[in-house]
Every structure is written in structure tokens, then in C-alpha cells.
């Protein structure tokens, strides 16, 4: 967890010294962190920009900050998670954890075996709630970019939208997939292209849907012998990408280099 308090402030100015006013949830975060005027914090617009800032004043439900300097944000994860529509609470958890990992795309999909889910995340009002949850997760983890959150669509429409794209690796998760997810990621060329992870609904991807996915370039991979819920499978797969294919920050590189030097010295 970041030691800095990060606030979500859409439409940030682009020059040092600019004032920024925040309210609502962001002021509650300031009060929860017990910050006082003069304290330093961070602001992000959710579009990749991250600033250090100084809390200038705090009155009622409004806070005024002053931008200090830009900060190099943590690396994003060039991953799109496409997942079967499921229960609202599990979907909110998936959105939250995906944002913490730095996933850049989220796409809910109506599969054949998800159409009967009664407590399903389909309504536009729910996805507005999901966007608010995503913004809260972004500030919690100190990130700088909110993922693109697509409206629910059919599998057919999703695959059709990918037809003209030739970007990166496409993996569909299936308990009985032919490949291991880690082996697929290890064999990935170092092109920094997108990785599209497709996670089916409870009950799995129907045979006809599997055929359509394969025709669209998806390779079916397994996460192991255990049967996982859709949200668990999605976050486990994104975590694997983060560990195996995600870029290292300069700080991480220095840390690992120091660990190696210590091992040699011992």
C-alpha cells in the first residue's frame, strides 16, 4: 500500500502552482488520513497523470490543493479483462482488484451460461457504481489511470470488435484448457502488446462459444485443477501477467539488483 494519500481529481491542470479543488469522497479521504493544511499528497486525473500537491485549505466539504510537480506513475498493465456477466458484488470486487493491479480494460460479456444469472451486473446504474468503485480503488493503490470500462455486450459482438485488431496475445481461461497460463505468458514475445484475457461465466464457456473464440485467435489455458469462480480466475490471471510479463519499475530493478549484490557478497 502507498504511504501517500492519493486523490482522484478529473480534469487536472497541467502546470505547477495551479489550484485544484476537490470535494465529496476525496475530502473524506483527507479527513480519514488526518491531513492538515500544508501536508503533501498526490492527485491523479485517472488518465495517466500523477502530481504531487500541497493541501492548501480544508473547509467543510471542500479542499483546495496546489500542484507541485509531476510524478512518474506506476506502470500500467496492458491487459484487457473480458469476463462473463455475474453477480453484482462479485463483479464489484473484480473491478476493484483489477484497478489495483493496473489493468487497462474491463469488458463484461453475456455468455450463453450467464444469461440466467438473476443478480447480474447489467443495468447502466450498476456500471456507474462500478466506475465509482474503480476511482476509489485507483486512489487507494496510488495509480494514475482508470481502466476503460465497456458496456455489457454479447460474445459475438465482442469477438467481432476484435476482428480487425492484431495486437498481442489472446487467452481464454478454461479449467481443461490445452495450455498452462504461465507457459503461454513465458513464451510471449517481448513486443509489449496487449494481452486479452477472456474469462467465462459460472459453468464455463459453451462448446459453440469455444469454437468462436478459437476462430478469433484465443488460446485456451488453464490455471490448474481447482474450479475457480469467474472473479477469482480473472484476478489470478491478471496477477500472473503482472508478475511474469509486467514491466519492472526503476525502483524494482534497483531493489533486485541490490538483492543480487547482497547474495554475491554473502
**How much of the chain is in helix, strand and coil states, percent to nearest 5?**
35, 25, 35
Residue 255 has pLDDT above 80, yes or no: no
The range of the structural domain enclosing residue 94 comes to 77-244
- For residues 55 and 102, state if they share a domain: no
What pLDDT does residue 191 have?
54
- For residues 89 and 164, state if they share a domain: yes
In a domain, 254, yes or no: no
In a domain, 266, yes or no: no
Q: Are 171 and 217 in contact (CB under 8 A)?
A: no
Q: Are 99 and 197 in contact (CB under 8 A)?
A: no
- Sign, CA dihedral 111-244-136-52, equals negative
Percent of the chain exceeding pLDDT 90 equals: 59
In this prediction the pTM is 0.83
β-sheet bridge partners, residue 263: none
Q: Which range in 22-26, 50-54, 193-197, 228-232 is most confidently predicted, on average pLDDT? A: 50-54
- For residues 162 and 33, state if they share a domain: no
What pLDDT does residue 258 have?
46
In a domain, 137, yes or no: yes
What pLDDT does residue 193 have?
77
- For residues 137 and 187, state if they share a domain: yes
In a domain, 255, yes or no: no
β-sheet bridge partners, residue 20: 65
Residue 257 has pLDDT above 70, yes or no: no
In a domain, 261, yes or no: no
Instruction: Give the pLDDT confidence of 138-183 residue by residue, as tens digits.
Output: 998 889 999 999 999 999 999 999 988 877 889 999 877 788 888 8
Residue indicated by cell numbers 495486437: 167
Amino acid at each position: 500500500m502507498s504511504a501517500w494519500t492519493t486523490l482522484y481529481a478529473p480534469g487536472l491542470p497541467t502546470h505547477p502552482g495551479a489550484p485544484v479543488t476537490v470535494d465529496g469522497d476525496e475530502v473524506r479521504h483527507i479527513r480519514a488520513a488526518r491531513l492538515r493544511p500544508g501536508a503533501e499528497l498526490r492527485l491523479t486525473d485517472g488518465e495517466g497523470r500523477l502530481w504531487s500537491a500541497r493541501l492548501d485549505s480544508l473547509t467543510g466539504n471542500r479542499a483546495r490543493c496546489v500542484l507541485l510537480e509531476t510524478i512518474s506513475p506506476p506502470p500500467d498493465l496492458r491487459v484487457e479483462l473480458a469476463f462473463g456477466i455475474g453477480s453484482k458484488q462479485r463483479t464489484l470486487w473484480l473491478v476493484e482488484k483489477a484497478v489495483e493491479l493496473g489493468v487497462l480494460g474491463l469488458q463484461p460479456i453475456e455468455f450463453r451460461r450467464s444469461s440466467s444469472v438473476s443478480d447480474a451486473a447489467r443495468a447502466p446504474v450498476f456500471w456507474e457504481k462500478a466506475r465509482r468503485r474503480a476511482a476509489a480503488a485507483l486512489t487507494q493503490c496510488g495509480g494514475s489511470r482508470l481502466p476503460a470500462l465497456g458496456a455489457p455486450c454479447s460474445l459475438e459482438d465482442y469477438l467481432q470488435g476484435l476482428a480487425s485488431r492484431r495486437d498481442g496475445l489472446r487467452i481464454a481461461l478454461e479449467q481443461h484448457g490445452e495450455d498452462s497460463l504461465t507457459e503461454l505468458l513465458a513464451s510471449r514475445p517481448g513486443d509489449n502488446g496487449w494481452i486479452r484475457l477472456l474469462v467465462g461465466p459460472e459453468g464455463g464457456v459453451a462448446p459453440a462459444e469455444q469454437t468462436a473464440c478459437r476462430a478469433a485467435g484465443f488460446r485456451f489455458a488453464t490455471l490448474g485443477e481447482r474450479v475457480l469462480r469467474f472473479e477469482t480466475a480473472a484476478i489470478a490471471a491478471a496477477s500472473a501477467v503482472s508478475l511474469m510479463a509486467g514491466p519492472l519499475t526503476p525502483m524494482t530493478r534497483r531493489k533486485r539488483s541490490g538483492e543480487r549484490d547482497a547474495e554475491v557478497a554473502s
